[in-house]
Amino acid sequence: MRAVAVTPGKEGFELIEVPESPVVKGKVKLKTLYVGICGTDKAIVNNALGFVRPPPGEDKLIIGHEGLAKVVEVGEGVEGLKEGDFVVPMVRRGGNCFHSRFGRQDYCEDESFVEAGIRGLHGFQREYFVDEPEYLVRVKDQDLGVFAVLTEPMKNVMKVIEVLQHAVARYYEVCEDSTLSCLKAVIAGWGTEGALLAMALKYLGVEEITAFSREESEEKVKVAELLNVEYFATKGGKANVRDFHLFFDMTGSPEVVVEGVEGIRNNGVVVLFGTNDRAPSHELRAEVITKVVEKNLTIVGSVDGSKGNYEQALTLISYWYARDKRVLEYFLEGAIYAPEEFGEALKHRGLKAVVKW
Ligand code: BGC
Ligand code: ZN
Protein backbone atom coordinates (compact mmCIF):
# COMPACT_ATOMS: atom_id res chain seq x y z
CA MET A 1 0.00 0.00 0.00
CA ARG A 2 1.02 3.63 -0.43
CA ALA A 3 2.24 5.95 2.32
CA VAL A 4 3.77 9.43 2.58
CA ALA A 5 7.08 9.34 4.45
CA VAL A 6 10.00 11.53 5.43
CA THR A 7 13.53 10.67 6.54
CA PRO A 8 14.02 12.70 9.72
CA GLY A 9 17.10 14.87 9.42
CA LYS A 10 16.54 15.35 5.67
CA GLU A 11 14.32 17.77 3.78
CA GLY A 12 11.50 16.52 1.53
CA PHE A 13 9.00 13.65 1.47
CA GLU A 14 8.36 10.57 -0.67
CA LEU A 15 5.40 8.44 -1.62
CA ILE A 16 6.51 4.91 -0.69
CA GLU A 17 5.14 1.36 -0.81
CA VAL A 18 4.84 -0.34 2.56
CA PRO A 19 3.32 -3.71 3.52
CA GLU A 20 -0.15 -3.80 5.08
CA SER A 21 -0.29 -5.09 8.65
CA PRO A 22 -2.80 -7.77 9.64
CA VAL A 23 -5.19 -7.15 12.51
CA VAL A 24 -4.19 -8.90 15.74
CA LYS A 25 -5.89 -9.64 19.04
CA GLY A 26 -6.94 -6.51 20.89
CA LYS A 27 -6.36 -4.22 17.89
CA VAL A 28 -8.39 -2.67 15.10
CA LYS A 29 -7.70 -2.42 11.38
CA LEU A 30 -8.58 0.90 9.79
CA LYS A 31 -9.00 2.20 6.27
CA THR A 32 -7.81 5.78 6.15
CA LEU A 33 -10.44 8.16 4.75
CA TYR A 34 -8.96 11.67 5.03
CA VAL A 35 -5.84 13.13 6.61
CA GLY A 36 -5.39 16.87 7.10
CA ILE A 37 -2.11 18.74 6.76
CA CYS A 38 -0.98 21.43 9.20
CA GLY A 39 1.99 23.66 9.93
CA THR A 40 3.67 20.84 11.87
CA ASP A 41 3.62 18.64 8.73
CA LYS A 42 5.10 21.44 6.66
CA ALA A 43 7.83 21.97 9.25
CA ILE A 44 8.54 18.21 9.30
CA VAL A 45 8.92 18.11 5.51
CA ASN A 46 11.17 21.21 5.66
CA ASN A 47 13.28 19.51 8.35
CA ALA A 48 12.61 22.46 10.64
CA LEU A 49 11.50 20.58 13.78
CA GLY A 50 14.17 19.22 16.11
CA PHE A 51 12.05 16.58 17.84
CA VAL A 52 10.95 14.58 14.78
CA ARG A 53 12.09 10.95 14.88
CA PRO A 54 11.18 7.64 13.19
CA PRO A 55 9.98 4.59 15.15
CA PRO A 56 12.87 2.79 16.91
CA GLY A 57 15.09 0.85 14.50
CA GLU A 58 13.68 2.52 11.34
CA ASP A 59 14.92 5.46 9.34
CA LYS A 60 11.70 6.62 7.72
CA LEU A 61 8.65 8.11 9.37
CA ILE A 62 5.18 7.92 7.83
CA ILE A 63 3.74 11.35 8.51
CA GLY A 64 0.16 12.60 9.04
CA HIS A 65 -1.54 13.14 12.39
CA GLU A 66 -4.92 14.71 11.48
CA GLY A 67 -6.68 11.46 10.67
CA LEU A 68 -10.18 10.23 9.99
CA ALA A 69 -10.56 6.50 9.37
CA LYS A 70 -13.13 3.72 9.06
CA VAL A 71 -12.98 0.47 11.02
CA VAL A 72 -12.65 -2.45 8.58
CA GLU A 73 -11.76 -5.27 10.95
CA VAL A 74 -11.93 -5.71 14.69
CA GLY A 75 -9.46 -7.99 16.48
CA GLU A 76 -10.49 -10.52 19.10
CA GLY A 77 -11.47 -9.01 22.42
CA VAL A 78 -12.06 -5.48 21.16
CA GLU A 79 -15.14 -3.83 22.63
CA GLY A 80 -16.95 -0.63 21.73
CA LEU A 81 -15.97 -0.53 18.04
CA LYS A 82 -17.43 -2.31 15.05
CA GLU A 83 -16.87 -2.53 11.31
CA GLY A 84 -18.03 0.67 9.57
CA ASP A 85 -17.46 2.98 12.55
CA PHE A 86 -15.66 6.25 11.83
CA VAL A 87 -12.85 7.09 14.22
CA VAL A 88 -10.30 9.83 14.81
CA PRO A 89 -6.95 8.38 15.92
CA MET A 90 -5.13 10.23 18.70
CA VAL A 91 -1.72 11.81 18.12
CA ARG A 92 0.08 11.52 21.44
CA ARG A 93 0.35 8.20 23.19
CA GLY A 94 1.79 6.33 26.13
CA GLY A 95 5.04 7.13 27.78
CA ASN A 96 6.19 6.25 31.27
CA CYS A 97 5.13 9.55 32.71
CA PHE A 98 2.69 9.86 35.59
CA HIS A 99 0.10 11.82 33.59
CA SER A 100 -0.20 9.17 30.88
CA ARG A 101 -1.48 6.69 33.50
CA PHE A 102 -4.79 8.53 33.44
CA GLY A 103 -4.93 9.56 29.82
CA ARG A 104 -3.30 12.97 30.20
CA GLN A 105 -0.14 12.27 28.19
CA ASP A 106 -0.66 15.78 26.79
CA TYR A 107 0.73 16.82 30.21
CA CYS A 108 3.58 14.28 30.23
CA GLU A 109 6.35 15.47 32.59
CA ASP A 110 9.08 13.95 30.43
CA GLU A 111 9.71 13.12 26.78
CA SER A 112 8.79 9.43 27.04
CA PHE A 113 5.62 9.75 24.92
CA VAL A 114 5.36 9.26 21.15
CA GLU A 115 3.29 11.23 18.63
CA ALA A 116 1.88 9.54 15.53
CA GLY A 117 3.39 11.03 12.39
CA ILE A 118 5.65 13.32 14.41
CA ARG A 119 7.91 11.51 16.87
CA GLY A 120 8.61 7.80 17.33
CA LEU A 121 5.41 6.41 15.76
CA HIS A 122 4.14 6.17 12.18
CA GLY A 123 1.30 8.50 11.26
CA PHE A 124 -1.82 8.15 9.13
CA GLN A 125 -0.86 9.29 5.61
CA ARG A 126 -1.22 5.69 4.36
CA GLU A 127 -4.01 3.52 3.03
CA TYR A 128 -4.53 1.28 6.08
CA PHE A 129 -3.22 1.07 9.62
CA VAL A 130 -3.70 -1.13 12.66
CA ASP A 131 -4.23 0.64 15.94
CA GLU A 132 -5.10 0.25 19.60
CA PRO A 133 -8.75 0.97 20.48
CA GLU A 134 -7.79 3.09 23.50
CA TYR A 135 -6.37 5.70 21.10
CA LEU A 136 -9.35 5.78 18.74
CA VAL A 137 -12.10 8.32 19.29
CA ARG A 138 -15.38 7.18 17.78
CA VAL A 139 -17.28 9.70 15.67
CA LYS A 140 -20.78 9.37 17.10
CA ASP A 141 -22.32 11.71 14.55
CA GLN A 142 -21.30 10.00 11.31
CA ASP A 143 -23.28 12.56 9.28
CA LEU A 144 -20.34 14.89 9.82
CA GLY A 145 -18.51 12.96 7.09
CA VAL A 146 -15.30 14.63 5.96
CA PHE A 147 -15.73 17.51 8.44
CA ALA A 148 -14.70 15.13 11.25
CA VAL A 149 -11.15 15.48 9.86
CA LEU A 150 -11.07 18.83 11.69
CA THR A 151 -11.31 17.03 15.06
CA GLU A 152 -7.57 16.69 15.60
CA PRO A 153 -6.69 20.39 15.19
CA MET A 154 -9.87 21.34 17.08
CA LYS A 155 -8.85 19.18 20.06
CA ASN A 156 -5.85 21.52 20.57
CA VAL A 157 -8.34 24.38 20.78
CA MET A 158 -10.54 22.49 23.27
CA LYS A 159 -7.54 22.07 25.52
CA VAL A 160 -6.90 25.81 25.27
CA ILE A 161 -10.49 26.42 26.41
CA GLU A 162 -9.92 24.02 29.32
CA VAL A 163 -6.71 25.88 30.24
CA LEU A 164 -8.56 29.18 29.99
CA GLN A 165 -11.22 28.00 32.41
CA HIS A 166 -8.50 27.20 34.96
CA ALA A 167 -6.85 30.56 34.37
CA VAL A 168 -9.98 32.66 34.82
CA ALA A 169 -10.94 30.69 37.93
CA ARG A 170 -8.33 32.73 39.86
CA TYR A 171 -10.77 35.66 39.78
CA TYR A 172 -14.32 36.21 38.55
CA GLU A 173 -14.21 37.32 34.96
CA VAL A 174 -17.81 36.99 33.86
CA CYS A 175 -20.22 39.69 32.82
CA GLU A 176 -22.91 41.07 35.10
CA ASP A 177 -25.46 38.73 33.61
CA SER A 178 -23.11 35.72 34.12
CA THR A 179 -22.47 35.29 30.37
CA LEU A 180 -19.20 35.90 28.54
CA SER A 181 -20.77 38.32 26.10
CA CYS A 182 -18.88 41.37 27.43
CA LEU A 183 -15.42 39.81 27.07
CA LYS A 184 -13.16 40.92 24.27
CA ALA A 185 -10.74 38.43 22.76
CA VAL A 186 -7.80 39.06 20.46
CA ILE A 187 -6.33 36.36 18.24
CA ALA A 188 -2.83 37.06 16.95
CA GLY A 189 -2.16 35.08 13.77
CA TRP A 190 -5.24 34.31 11.73
CA GLY A 191 -5.01 30.86 10.14
CA THR A 192 -6.60 27.45 10.66
CA GLU A 193 -6.14 27.18 14.42
CA GLY A 194 -7.14 30.81 14.89
CA ALA A 195 -10.39 30.24 13.01
CA LEU A 196 -11.06 27.02 14.95
CA LEU A 197 -10.46 28.93 18.18
CA ALA A 198 -12.90 31.64 17.11
CA MET A 199 -15.49 28.91 16.53
CA ALA A 200 -14.98 27.68 20.11
CA LEU A 201 -15.09 31.20 21.60
CA LYS A 202 -18.27 32.06 19.71
CA TYR A 203 -19.85 28.87 21.00
CA LEU A 204 -18.96 29.94 24.56
CA GLY A 205 -20.65 33.28 23.99
CA VAL A 206 -17.59 35.51 23.51
CA GLU A 207 -19.01 37.93 20.94
CA GLU A 208 -16.27 40.43 20.35
CA ILE A 209 -13.27 38.87 18.65
CA THR A 210 -10.51 40.78 16.87
CA ALA A 211 -7.90 38.94 14.83
CA PHE A 212 -4.84 40.07 12.96
CA SER A 213 -2.06 38.61 10.86
CA ARG A 214 0.92 40.11 9.06
CA GLU A 215 -0.37 39.68 5.53
CA GLU A 216 -3.95 39.73 4.39
CA SER A 217 -5.37 37.11 2.04
CA GLU A 218 -8.75 36.54 0.48
CA GLU A 219 -9.17 33.35 2.55
CA LYS A 220 -8.43 35.15 5.80
CA VAL A 221 -10.91 37.93 5.06
CA LYS A 222 -13.63 35.48 4.04
CA VAL A 223 -13.40 33.25 7.12
CA ALA A 224 -13.37 36.32 9.38
CA GLU A 225 -16.57 37.49 7.69
CA LEU A 226 -18.21 34.09 8.07
CA LEU A 227 -17.35 33.99 11.77
CA ASN A 228 -18.13 37.65 12.37
CA VAL A 229 -14.59 38.36 13.56
CA GLU A 230 -13.08 41.81 13.10
CA TYR A 231 -9.91 41.20 11.10
CA PHE A 232 -7.00 43.32 9.87
CA ALA A 233 -3.47 42.88 8.55
CA THR A 234 -0.55 44.55 10.37
CA LYS A 235 1.73 44.45 7.29
CA GLY A 236 4.74 44.27 9.61
CA GLY A 237 3.62 47.20 11.82
CA LYS A 238 2.19 47.03 15.34
CA ALA A 239 -1.31 45.70 15.86
CA ASN A 240 -2.15 48.49 18.36
CA VAL A 241 -4.85 46.47 20.09
CA ARG A 242 -6.04 47.74 23.47
CA ASP A 243 -8.52 47.02 26.17
CA PHE A 244 -9.24 43.32 25.77
CA HIS A 245 -9.49 40.48 28.30
CA LEU A 246 -8.10 37.49 26.44
CA PHE A 247 -5.13 37.25 24.10
CA PHE A 248 -4.32 34.15 22.08
CA ASP A 249 -1.01 34.01 20.29
CA MET A 250 -0.76 31.73 17.28
CA THR A 251 2.39 33.33 15.89
CA GLY A 252 5.11 32.26 18.33
CA SER A 253 6.60 35.71 17.82
CA PRO A 254 8.04 37.32 21.00
CA GLU A 255 7.27 40.79 19.69
CA VAL A 256 3.59 39.96 19.22
CA VAL A 257 3.31 38.39 22.68
CA VAL A 258 4.86 41.47 24.33
CA GLU A 259 2.33 43.63 22.51
CA GLY A 260 -0.42 41.42 23.89
CA VAL A 261 0.89 41.81 27.45
CA GLU A 262 1.07 45.58 27.01
CA GLY A 263 -2.44 46.01 25.62
CA ILE A 264 -4.39 43.57 27.79
CA ARG A 265 -6.59 44.66 30.72
CA ASN A 266 -6.04 43.83 34.37
CA ASN A 267 -6.56 40.12 35.18
CA GLY A 268 -6.14 39.24 31.51
CA VAL A 269 -5.09 35.86 30.21
CA VAL A 270 -2.42 35.48 27.54
CA VAL A 271 -2.46 32.02 25.97
CA LEU A 272 0.59 30.94 23.99
CA PHE A 273 -0.50 28.49 21.37
CA GLY A 274 1.80 28.95 18.39
CA THR A 275 5.51 28.18 18.11
CA ASN A 276 8.08 29.46 15.65
CA ASP A 277 11.70 28.95 16.63
CA ARG A 278 12.67 31.08 13.64
CA ALA A 279 10.76 34.20 14.72
CA PRO A 280 13.03 37.20 15.43
CA SER A 281 14.10 37.50 19.07
CA HIS A 282 12.78 40.38 21.15
CA GLU A 283 14.06 41.92 24.32
CA LEU A 284 12.08 41.27 27.52
CA ARG A 285 12.08 44.70 29.18
CA ALA A 286 11.68 45.07 32.95
CA GLU A 287 8.49 47.15 32.45
CA VAL A 288 6.89 44.18 30.76
CA ILE A 289 7.46 42.07 33.88
CA THR A 290 6.06 44.91 36.00
CA LYS A 291 2.94 44.89 33.80
CA VAL A 292 2.47 41.13 34.23
CA VAL A 293 2.69 41.54 38.02
CA GLU A 294 0.70 44.73 38.40
CA LYS A 295 -2.07 43.58 36.10
CA ASN A 296 -2.37 40.07 37.64
CA LEU A 297 -1.82 38.53 34.23
CA THR A 298 -1.83 34.83 33.56
CA ILE A 299 0.52 33.76 30.78
CA VAL A 300 -0.01 30.15 29.89
CA GLY A 301 1.19 27.70 27.23
CA SER A 302 -0.78 24.79 25.82
CA VAL A 303 0.02 21.85 23.54
CA ASP A 304 -1.92 18.82 22.29
CA GLY A 305 -5.03 17.59 24.17
CA SER A 306 -6.66 14.61 25.87
CA LYS A 307 -9.20 12.07 24.61
CA GLY A 308 -11.83 14.17 26.34
CA ASN A 309 -10.69 17.16 24.28
CA TYR A 310 -11.12 15.12 21.06
CA GLU A 311 -14.68 14.30 22.12
CA GLN A 312 -15.43 17.94 22.88
CA ALA A 313 -13.97 18.84 19.48
CA LEU A 314 -16.41 16.49 17.76
CA THR A 315 -19.29 18.01 19.71
CA LEU A 316 -18.21 21.50 18.69
CA ILE A 317 -17.93 20.49 15.02
CA SER A 318 -21.47 19.04 15.22
CA TYR A 319 -22.63 22.32 16.73
CA TRP A 320 -21.24 24.32 13.81
CA TYR A 321 -22.59 21.76 11.35
CA ALA A 322 -26.05 22.59 12.70
CA ARG A 323 -25.48 26.33 13.28
CA ASP A 324 -23.77 27.31 10.02
CA LYS A 325 -22.38 24.56 7.82
CA ARG A 326 -20.83 27.15 5.50
CA VAL A 327 -18.04 27.72 8.00
CA LEU A 328 -17.02 24.05 7.85
CA GLU A 329 -17.46 23.93 4.10
CA TYR A 330 -15.20 26.91 3.75
CA PHE A 331 -12.37 25.08 5.54
CA LEU A 332 -12.44 22.30 2.97
CA GLU A 333 -13.27 24.26 -0.16
CA GLY A 334 -10.93 23.06 -2.93
CA ALA A 335 -8.85 21.40 -0.25
CA ILE A 336 -9.05 17.71 -1.13
CA TYR A 337 -5.96 16.20 -2.78
CA ALA A 338 -4.97 12.71 -3.92
CA PRO A 339 -1.90 11.11 -2.27
CA GLU A 340 0.04 11.66 -5.54
CA GLU A 341 -0.66 15.40 -5.15
CA PHE A 342 0.93 15.63 -1.71
CA GLY A 343 3.45 18.22 -2.92
CA GLU A 344 0.65 20.49 -4.19
CA ALA A 345 -1.33 19.89 -0.98
CA LEU A 346 1.62 21.26 1.02
CA LYS A 347 1.42 24.46 -1.01
CA HIS A 348 -2.38 24.82 -0.64
CA ARG A 349 -3.38 28.41 0.07
CA GLY A 350 -6.72 27.93 1.81
CA LEU A 351 -7.35 27.16 5.46
CA LYS A 352 -6.75 23.44 5.33
CA ALA A 353 -5.45 20.87 2.85
CA VAL A 354 -6.68 17.30 3.16
CA VAL A 355 -5.49 14.09 1.49
CA LYS A 356 -8.26 11.69 0.46
CA TRP A 357 -7.10 8.06 0.70
C1 BGC B 1 -0.48 18.51 16.96
C2 BGC B 1 -0.31 18.18 18.44
C3 BGC B 1 1.15 17.92 18.74
C4 BGC B 1 1.97 19.11 18.29
C5 BGC B 1 3.46 19.03 18.59
C6 BGC B 1 0.45 19.61 16.56
O7 BGC B 1 0.38 19.86 15.18
O8 BGC B 1 -1.81 18.87 16.70
O9 BGC B 1 -1.11 17.08 18.79
O10 BGC B 1 1.34 17.68 20.14
O11 BGC B 1 1.79 19.30 16.90
O12 BGC B 1 4.10 17.94 18.13
ZN1 ZN C 1 -1.07 19.42 13.54
Task: Answer yes or no: is the C-beta of 43 below 6 A from any ligand 1 atom.
Answer: no
Note down pLDDT in tens along the chain; length 357 residues: 999 999 999 999 999 999 999 999 999 999 999 999 999 999 999 999 999 999 999 999 999 999 999 999 999 999 999 999 999 999 999 889 999 999 999 999 999 999 999 999 999 999 999 999 999 999 999 999 999 999 999 999 999 999 999 998 888 777 889 889 999 999 999 999 999 999 999 999 999 999 999 999 999 999 999 999 999 999 989 999 999 999 999 999 999 999 999 999 999 999 999 988 889 999 999 999 999 999 999 999 999 999 999 999 999 999 999 999 999 999 999 999 999 999 999 999 889 999 999
Q: What is the pLDDT of residues 87-107, one digit of tens each?
A: 999 999 988 999 999 999 999
CB atoms within 10 A of CB 286: 7
How long a stretch of residues is the chain?
357
DSSP SS3 for 268: strand
Task: Answer yes or no: is the C-beta of 106 below 6 A from any ligand 1 atom.
Answer: no
Task: Answer yes or no: is the C-beta of 309 below 6 A from any ligand 1 atom.
Answer: no
Task: Answer yes or no: is the C-beta of 40 below 6 A from any ligand 1 atom.
Answer: yes
Q: Single out the residue of 319, 322, 258, 327 nearest to residue 290, CA to CA.
A: 258
Q: What is the pLDDT of residues 55-94, one digit of tens each?
A: 999 999 999 999 999 999 999 999 999 999 999 999 999 8
pTM, 2 dp: 0.96
CA 182–ligand 1 middle distance (angstroms): 32
Q: Single out the residue of 306, 309, 314, 313 nearest to residue 102, CA to CA.
A: 306
Q: What is the pLDDT of residue 161?
A: 97
CA angle 46-47-49, nearest 5°? 115
DSSP SS3 for 135: helix
Task: Answer yes or no: is the C-beta of 91 below 6 A from any ligand 1 atom.
Answer: yes
Distance CA 86, CA 337 (A): 20
Which contiguous run of DSSP H or E holds residue 24? none
Name the strands in the sheet holding 14-17, side by side, starting at the edge strand that comes first in the sequence.
14-17, 2-6, 61-62
Task: Answer yes or no: is the C-beta of 196 below 6 A from any ligand 1 atom.
Answer: no
Residue ID of nearest Cα to ligand 1 atom 2: 304
Residues with Cβ–ion distance below 5 A, ligand 2: 38, 40
| Contact (CB, 8 A) for 295 and 267 | yes
Task: Answer yes or no: is the C-beta of 115 below 6 A from any ligand 1 atom.
Answer: yes
**Which atom of ligand 1 lies closest to the CA of 38?**
7
Residue ID of nearest Cα to ligand 1 atom 4: 304
Q: Single out the residue of 326, 279, 38, 315 nearest to residue 161, CA to CA.
A: 315
**Parallel/antiparallel/unpaired status of strands 128-131 and 14-17:** unpaired
CA 262–ligand 1 middle distance (angstroms): 29
Task: Answer yes or no: is the C-beta of 270 below 6 A from any ligand 1 atom.
Answer: no
**Which atom of ligand 1 lies closest to the CA of 106?**
10
| Contact (CB, 8 A) for 232 and 221 | no
CA 155–ligand 2 middle distance (angstroms): 10
DSSP SS3 for 95: coil
